[in-house]
């Protein structure tokens, strides 16, 4: 109920005479009653409190005031009557039960406001004046206020009882799911029973029946909203079935709870019976429950079809395409229902719904007939009898379409026929492959064949074991024939297994002892032949672990056969039990043999020859495993241990020797990569040395490098002496047993020197054709020719000499005496002043590759000089400046008596020549050579200037002569004139 202000509050507000406060009260009552408030505030529209000040006697003494008050009370009576009539005509705003509660709450608010105003002090004072005045209106007003009190009491009582039901009504509307609604209905019905028993005003048939109609309407709306055929079939089938089933339960629960409470009321014999119109209460809900049941049946039918035409039937029949076609028809069953043009829950459309359901049942029957035909055809061509049998048993215990399920149960004979075909296929496969059966990975031959045979047998045995679950099938004539055929094929396979095992057992007893007596190691050559004599020092001898594959196969066969439950010979079992020990021995032996092979592979021929005694000693230790140690020998671990000790000793010696050899290799690498042509770099001013200075720099740097290399070469002999001490225990440097080793290293020294000289000459040849200039040559005018300074021949000779000095540098490396690593001392030769020193030069200088590269450098240098000569020829265009005799040329020119114009032409010619020369570059780069043209250009310009000077002198002489002649002529003419 709404909380209304008490009378004191109204009295206090209205006593102020404040229009704003009155408007607040009017607004409050508008909210409460939902209607305009003037009809509820009529008391305050006609009179103010200040108008009725004073006592009752004072008011009665004023006839005008009594008349005014009587008119006011008449207005009150009229307006109260109007409000009561308005409330009696109003109906609940909505079809649900919550609208009923709101209706009575609004009535309580309106009537409460009127009752509160009648209790105001000013109102009571006015009514007291009218009573004392014996006004006729008071009798009518008392009747009206009594009616108002009755309606007010009725409204309050009804709101009190209906409020107890509000929570249940809201659960019907906004409950989380149907479970909440199902739990609410019994409580709601008990609440209605309490209202029926306890309420003084709401326990009439009309009111309670109306409320129940509203509840039925709300339940119908909730079910229709959830179980919506437009979207129901788009949900998962489990969810959709739950919605349809729960919707029906809600509607059924509504009716069942009603009759349960009705029975309790009748049984009490104290309260009036419920005799409401059942058609109004249950006709629609019963119809909707039947529709929910129809929808549930549709979903159940779909489930039954999906269960039948599932993956199992596809696997059995092998025709998934046709099954998918049937499933497509099943999926299409719900399309007419989803697309109905009417509301299925509308009872007025009952006939239309019946037509839809009839079409559905007709299509279901058609699908069933097609499914039965498909099953009859498919079971004639079964893919797997076991899978088909499992499918039948599944449908035997799972609810599916009865017609299809009954048809499936008739297919046991087809399954037996299919099983016979499968047995024939397995028997044919067995007979075809029994002599060379397919084996699983890592399976030995005999045990693998038995595993294969038992696999075939198990494939035949599994279905027949399952068939025993259907006693009626196996007790038939067909079932007995199948059992007999199975026993025949199974005995044939068992005989095959026994024969294989007996044959293997006999072979094992004969060969096992011989295999165990084999040596643990064998020595073989590169051709794979077994070597008996281990004293011969051959590099192609290797050792191999001699664990026979046949022995490994016996162990594997024994283990697999034992796993299969077959009793194997005790000797084989004893060997199989030692498998882990054999594996440890094999691992240790393989590690030993691999270490030996790794050491031998790491030795070159010279090292192998040098360490012949140590190799022979190591082989003697390993050869013990080729002669004395077999797989029955208990001391195999001790043999492996001794072998590893000998190998470690040999490996330590090899590592020390190879460490010294690596030091020698490092020194030889330094010799091989030495740079014997180190070029001078240009300074900051771009100055480059001349050819002589360039060659001197290279020679100086080469001498420094060769000094270091000779020291490194001299350090090789001590390293070889150290190796001698490791092997022989001596430090002579001329051990006869190491002669071959010395020769090996002397050859490597020669090879390093060869590579050093060769790559330096090649690098120098490449540098000659580079783009970076390294030295400078001047050009001069040596009339009548243009020449280089130094000359081309001298440049060529210096370059050749530089290359020759590179080869000559190998004279610094003195050869060793024969059979030693000691440098050969100088030898005195008859007829020679200087002693002869044996060096590597005599061999290096004769190498074709080095001579070819030296020749290539000569050709390259020749091309460079030819290129320079070709360029200098372009300067010969000025040769007339220095080739002609100026005296003769001037004499001839003067004899012609040239004019000033002719002199000017000559002057202009030489000026142009001088300017052209000035514009010429003073430097020309020809690969490695920088050509300095400044001396040449200066000489050409000086010659041009000399010609200009000669012409000037000639012009001067000619002009002086002309002047003298002119003077003489003028003098003659003057004298003649005087005379």
pLDDT-derived band at 14 (thresholds 50, 70, 90) equals very low
Mean pLDDT to the nearest integer, 17-44: 41
Contacts 24+ apart (CB under 8 A), 131-140: 132/56, 132/60, 133/60, 133/66, 133/70, 135/70, 135/73, 137/70, 137/73, 137/74, 137/77, 138/73, 140/77
Residues 897 and 940: their CA atoms lie apart, in Å, by 28
Q: Going edge to edge, which strands form the sheet with 929-932? A: 785-789, 775-782, 929-932, 923-926
Mean pLDDT to the nearest integer, 637-664: 90
Residues 697 and 761: their CA atoms lie apart, in Å, by 17
CA distance readout (Å), 730 to 233, 609, 611, 721, 741? 103, 18, 15, 8, 15
Choice between 208 and 914, residue whose per-residue pLDDT is larger? 208
CB 21 within 8 Å of CB 13: yes
Mean pLDDT to the nearest integer, 427-431: 85
Closest CA to 162 of 83, 221, 106, 112: 106
pLDDT-derived band at 787 (thresholds 50, 70, 90) equals low
pLDDT at 393 over 70: no
Closest CA to 391 of 290, 322, 317: 317
pLDDT at 335 over 80: yes
pLDDT at 416: 63
400: left (phi over 0), alpha (psi -120 to 50) or beta: beta
pLDDT-derived band at 45 (thresholds 50, 70, 90) equals very low
| Mean predicted lDDT score pLDDT of the chain | 79
pLDDT at 669 over 90: yes
pLDDT at 689: 79
Q: 304 CB contacts (<8 Å, ≥6 apart)?
A: 399, 400, 401
pLDDT-derived band at 708 (thresholds 50, 70, 90) equals very high
The three-point CA angle 462-464-468 to 5° equals 120
pLDDT at 239 over 80: yes
**Helix (H/G/I), strand (E/B), else coil: 923:** strand
pLDDT at 603: 85
Instruction: Write the secondary structure of 943-955 as one string of H (helix), E (strand) and C (coil).
Output: HHHHHHHHHHHHH
pLDDT at 384: 53
pLDDT at 373 over 80: no
pLDDT-derived band at 10 (thresholds 50, 70, 90) equals very low
Helix intervals (H) in 715-780: 716-727, 739-768
Q: Is the pTM of this model over 0.75?
A: no
Instruction: Provide, rounded to the nearest whole percent, the portion of the chain with pLDDT above 90.
Output: 6
pLDDT at 50: 55
Residues 220 and 287: their CA atoms lie apart, in Å, by 10
Mean pLDDT to the nearest integer, 221-239: 85
Mean pLDDT to the nearest integer, 187-211: 87
pLDDT at 474: 57
pLDDT tens string 524-572: 876 667 765 555 556 667 888 888 888 888 888 898 888 888 888 888 8
The secondary element (H helix, E strand) that includes residue 372 is helix 350-378
CB 655 within 8 Å of CB 603: no
Mean pLDDT to the nearest integer, 237-256: 87
CB 730 within 8 Å of CB 813: no
Q: Is 633 exposed, middle or buried (0-12, 13-18, 19+ CB in 10 A)?
A: middle
Residues 274 and 281: their CA atoms lie apart, in Å, by 12
Mean pLDDT to the nearest integer, 334-357: 87
pLDDT at 105 over 70: yes
Mean pLDDT to the nearest integer, 190-217: 88
CB 150 within 8 Å of CB 110: no
Phi, psi of 524 (to 5 degrees): -130, 155
pLDDT at 676: 87
Instruction: Provide, rounded to the nearest whole percent, the portion of the chain with pLDDT above 70.
Output: 81
Q: Which two tokens stand for residue 822?
A: 């000691």
pLDDT at 887: 67
Mean pLDDT to the nearest integer, 871-888: 68
CB 552 within 8 Å of CB 570: no
CB 163 within 8 Å of CB 199: no
Mean pLDDT to the nearest integer, 27-53: 46
pLDDT at 3 over 50: no
**Helix (H/G/I), strand (E/B), else coil: 788:** strand
**Terminal Cα distance for the chain, rounded:** 174
Residues 68 and 365: their CA atoms lie apart, in Å, by 89
CB 490 within 8 Å of CB 457: yes
Choice between 400 and 843, residue whose per-residue pLDDT is larger? 843
Phi, psi of 814 (to 5 degrees): -80, 135
pLDDT at 974 over 90: no
pLDDT at 11 over 80: no
Count CB atoms within 10 A of the CB of residue 220. Answer: 20
pLDDT-derived band at 782 (thresholds 50, 70, 90) equals low
pLDDT at 677 over 70: yes
Residues 282 and 280: their CA atoms lie apart, in Å, by 6
pLDDT-derived band at 51 (thresholds 50, 70, 90) equals low
pLDDT at 49 over 90: no
Closest CA to 76 of 34, 112, 40, 128: 40
Choice between 775 and 153, residue whose per-residue pLDDT is larger? 153
pLDDT tens string 478-489: 667 777 777 888
pLDDT at 283 over 70: yes
Mean pLDDT to the nearest integer, 865-894: 70
Cis preceding-peptide flag for 790 (omega within 30 of 0):
yes
CB 126 within 8 Å of CB 47: yes
pLDDT at 172 over 70: yes
pLDDT-derived band at 399 (thresholds 50, 70, 90) equals very low
pLDDT at 316: 53
């Amino acid at each position: 109920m709404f909380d209304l202000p008490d009378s004191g509050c109204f009295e206090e507000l209205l006593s102020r005479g404040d229009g704003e406060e009155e408007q607040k009260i009017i607004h409050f009552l508008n909210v409460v009653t939902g209607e305009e408030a003037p009809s509820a505030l009529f008391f305050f529209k006609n009179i103010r409190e200040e108008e009725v000040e004073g006592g009752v006697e004072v008011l009665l003494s004023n006839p005008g005031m009594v008349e005014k008050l009587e008119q006011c009370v008449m207005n009150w009576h009229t307006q109260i009557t109007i409000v009561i009539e308005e409330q009696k005509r109003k109906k609940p705003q909505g079809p649900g039960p919550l609208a009923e509660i709101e209706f009575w709450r609004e009535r309580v608010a309106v009537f409460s406001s009127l009752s509160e105003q009648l209790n105001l002090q000013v109102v009571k004072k006015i009514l007291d004046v009218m009573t004392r005045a014996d006004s006729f209106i008071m009798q009518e007003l008392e009747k009206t206020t009594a009616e108002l009190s009755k309606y007010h009491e009725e409204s309050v009582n009804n709101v009190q009882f209906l409020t107890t039901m509000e929570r249940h009504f809201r659960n019907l509307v906004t409950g989380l799911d149907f479970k909440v609604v199902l739990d609410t209905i019994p409580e709601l019905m008990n609440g209605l029973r309490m209202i029926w028993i306890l309420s003084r005003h709401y326990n009439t048939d009309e009111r309670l029946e109306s409320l129940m109609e509203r509840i039925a309407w709300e339940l119908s709306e909730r079910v229709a909203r959830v179980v919506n055929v437009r979207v129901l079939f788009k949900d998962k089938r489990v969810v959709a079935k739950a919605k349809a089933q729960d919707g029906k339960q809600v509607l059924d629960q509504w009716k069942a709870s009603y009759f349960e409470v009705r029975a309790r009321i009748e049984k009490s014999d104290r309260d009036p019976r419920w005799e409401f119109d059942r058609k109004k209460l249950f006709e629609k809900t019963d119809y909707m429950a039947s529709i929910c049941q129809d929808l549930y049946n549709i979903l159940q039918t779909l489930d039954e079809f999906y269960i039948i035409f599932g993956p199992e039937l596809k696997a059995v029949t092998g025709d998934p395409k046709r099954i998918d076609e049937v499933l497509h028809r099943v999926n299409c069953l719900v399309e007419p229902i989803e697309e109905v043009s009417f509301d299925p829950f509308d009872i007025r459309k009952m006939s239309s719904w019946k037509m839809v359901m009839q079409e559905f049942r007709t299509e279901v029957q058609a699908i069933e007939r097609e499914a039965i035909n498909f099953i009859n055809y498919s079971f004639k061509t079964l893919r797997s009898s076991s899978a088909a049998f499992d499918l039948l048993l599944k449908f035997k215990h799972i609810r599916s379409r009865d017609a299809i399920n009954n048809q499936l149960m008739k297919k046991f004979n087809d399954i037996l026929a299919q099983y016979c075909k499968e047995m024939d296929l397995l028997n044919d496969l067995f007979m075809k492959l029994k002599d060379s059966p397919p084996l699983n990975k890592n399976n030995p031959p005999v045990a693998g064949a038995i595993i294969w045979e038992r696999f075939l047998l198990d494939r035949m045995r599994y279905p027949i074991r399952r068939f025993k679950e259907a006693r009626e099938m196996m007790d038939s004539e067909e079932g007995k024939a199948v059992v007999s055929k199975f026993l025949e094929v199974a005995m044939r396979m068992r005989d095959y297994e026994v024969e294989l095992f007996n044959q293997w057992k006999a072979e094992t007893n004969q060969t096992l002892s011989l295999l165990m007596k084999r040596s643990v190691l064998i020595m073989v050559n590169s051709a794979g032949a077994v070597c008996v004599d281990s004293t011969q020092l051959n590099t192609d001898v290797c050792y191999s672990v001699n664990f026979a594959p046949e022995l490994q196969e016996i162990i594997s066969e024994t283990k697999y056969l034992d796993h299969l439950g077959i009793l194997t010979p005790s000797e084989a079992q004893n060997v199989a039990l030692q498998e882990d020990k054999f594996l440890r021995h094999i691992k240790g032996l393989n590690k030993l043999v691999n270490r030996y092979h790794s050491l031998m592979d790491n030795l070159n021929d010279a090292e192998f020859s040098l360490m012949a005694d140590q190799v022979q000693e190591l082989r003697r230790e390993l050869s013990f495993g080729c002669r004395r140690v077999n797989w029955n020998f208990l001391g195999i671990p001790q043999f492996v241990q001794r072998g590893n000790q000998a190998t470690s000793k040999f490996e330590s010696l090899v590592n020390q020797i190879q460490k010294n050899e690596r030091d020698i290799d490092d020194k030889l690498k330094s010799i091989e990569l030495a740079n014997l042509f180190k070029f001078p770099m240009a300074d900051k001013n771009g100055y480059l040395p001349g050819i002589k200075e360039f060659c001197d720099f290279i020679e100086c740097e080469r001498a420094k490098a060769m000094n270091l290399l000779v020291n490194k070469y001299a350090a090789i002999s001590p390293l070889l002496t150290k190796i001698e001490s490791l092997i022989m225990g001596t430090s002579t440097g001329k051990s006869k047993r190491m002669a071959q080793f010395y020769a090996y290293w002397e050859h490597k020294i020669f090879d390093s020197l060869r590579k050093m000289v060769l790559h330096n000459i090649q690098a120098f040849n490449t540098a000659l054709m580079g783009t970076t200039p390294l030295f400078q040559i001047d050009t001069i005018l040596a009339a009548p020719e243009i020449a280089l300074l130094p000359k081309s021949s001298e440049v060529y000779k210096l370059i050749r000499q530089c290359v020759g000095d590179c080869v000559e540098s190998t004279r610094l490396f003195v050869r060793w005496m024969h059979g030693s690593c000691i440098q050969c001392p100088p030898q005195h030769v008859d007829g020679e002043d200087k002693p002869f020193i044996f060096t590597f030069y005599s061999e290096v200088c004769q190498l074709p590759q080095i001579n070819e590269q030296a020749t290539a450098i000569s050709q390259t240098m020749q091309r460079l000089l030819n290129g320079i000569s070709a360029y200098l020829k372009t300067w010969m265009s000025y040769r007339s400046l220095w080739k002609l005799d100026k005296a003769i040329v001037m004499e001839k020119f003067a004899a012609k008596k040239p004019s000033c114009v002719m002199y000017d032409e000559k002057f202009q010619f030489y000026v142009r020549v001088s300017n052209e020369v000035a514009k010429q570059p003073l430097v020309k780069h020809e690969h490695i050579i920088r050509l300095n043209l400044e001396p040449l250009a200066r000489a050409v310009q000086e010659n041009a200037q000399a010609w200009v000077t000669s012409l000037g002198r000639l012009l001067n002489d000619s002009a002086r002569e002309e002047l003298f002649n002119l003077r003489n002529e003028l003098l003659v003419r003057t004298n003649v004139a005087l005379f």
